[in-house]
Amino acid sequence: MGKNIGLVIWAMTIVIIVAGLLALYSASYHNIRISNEVFYDQLLFAIVGLVIMFLISKLDYRNFYELAYVFYAGAVILLILVLVSGRHALGATRWFSIGGISFQPSEMAKFGLILTLARYFSTRNPSVSFETDPFGNLWPDLFVPLLITMFPMLLIFKQPDLGTALLFVGIFFIMLFASGLKYKYIAGFLGVCLFFLPFAWHILKPYQRDRLLVFLNPNIDPLGAGYTIIQSKIAVGSGKFLGKGWLSGTQNQLNFLPERHTDFIFSVIGEEWGLIGTIIVLGCYFVLIWSGLKIAEQVKDKFGMQLTVGIIAIFTLQVVINIGMVLGLCPVVGLTLPLISFGRSSFITFMIMLGFLLNLSRRRTVF
């Protein structure tokens, strides 16, 4: 294709944002539980985010190589501070409130981790070093980046925020895969992690265990932990092929669907826009992700390649997990749908990362 990757990213980003704004307006339309301020708030941050995206696209991403560890340290400090003095809500301590605006440090930590791992992996060449001393190089090529990942991950898990903590695991393995480490070492380490995974059950909070149990069978607690999943699947299924029409979704408008402006906003799209609308939204995500993969394939330096892989990894993981939650295919872990769910910190973080994608696309601008 001869289209410019940058123009494709701009187009897909704007379409997804508009879809999110329409869904948010519907979720808050004449609703006593969700104020219509969420729509206007998201609209304001969409404008700000687009400006930020444009400004970052004009910078040289390589300047951030030297700042990677500074971003990482700043994110870790904020994660520690939020545990000490952050705002406690909904059973978790995840936010700072500054001037009436909530800020979630874990969102900044996502990009800080990607930037730091991109810098670290760009200095390594496991495919070469492992030829002379395979096991001697496991420490710098596997365990050091694991420690870099685990420190902020454990702080986020402490908040508690299981979804974002697990997201860090996914970012680590995908960027490790892109680093050039031989697959047998990655597979072996993944196997060890899966072996010990059942023991993690005992460190989960009761509500986290409930979410995992209702994932297997929502009907064991249909009016409690399983309620949201059941209502979400009813909403998506009732949309059928063409949907019920904008502002006409019954599960949405009659308040049967909790968290419909944040984690479960895709169910609003499914109910009101039907299969056609969801395919359009998913198609935009696919094109955006595919564009990122093309950039990763064509970018000229290893730092840029790793940075692109990390950004696409977190974007893909959140889309897949969020939609999986809505359809009952994944446990409910509290992850937003990128650029659509209401959430200032998440929205701005993704706009920053898309700005970097645009920046990276300038190194090789055509397919």
Region 136-158: mean pLDDT is 88
- How sure is the predictor about 358, in pLDDT bands with cuts at 50, 70 and 90? very high
Q: What is the pLDDT of residue 118?
A: 95
Structure tokens at 127: 């495919």
203 vs 129 pLDDT, higher one? 203
Write out the H or E segment, with its range, that includes residue 102. strand 101-103
Cβ atoms 225, 207 nearer than 8 A: yes
Q: What backbone phi and psi angles, to 5 degrees, belong to 88? A: -95, 125
Region 253-271: mean pLDDT is 86
Q: What is the pLDDT of residue 128?
A: 53
Q: How far apart are CA 250 and CA 248, in angstroms?
A: 6
Give the residue from 127, 143, 182, 152 showing the smallest Cα distance to 302.
127
Average pLDDT of the residues of the chain = 87
Q: How far apart are CA 236 and CA 72, in angstroms?
A: 39
Cβ neighbourhood burial of 98 (10 Å; 0-12, 13-18, 19+):
exposed
CA angle 226–231–236, rounded 5-degree value: 130
Does 365 score more than 50 pLDDT? Answer: no
Question: How many residues in the chain?
Answer: 367
pLDDT tens per residue, range 70-124: 999 999 999 999 888 877 776 677 877 776 677 888 999 999 999 999 999 998 8
pTM assigned to the model: 0.91
Cβ atoms 145, 178 nearer than 8 A: no
Tell me which residue has tokens 């200095």.
123
Q: Using alpha carbons, list the distances in angstroms from residue 56 to 49, 67, 180, 339, 354.
A: 10, 15, 28, 17, 9
Does 129 score more than 70 pLDDT? Answer: no
Least confident of 186-195, 252-261, 283-292: 252-261
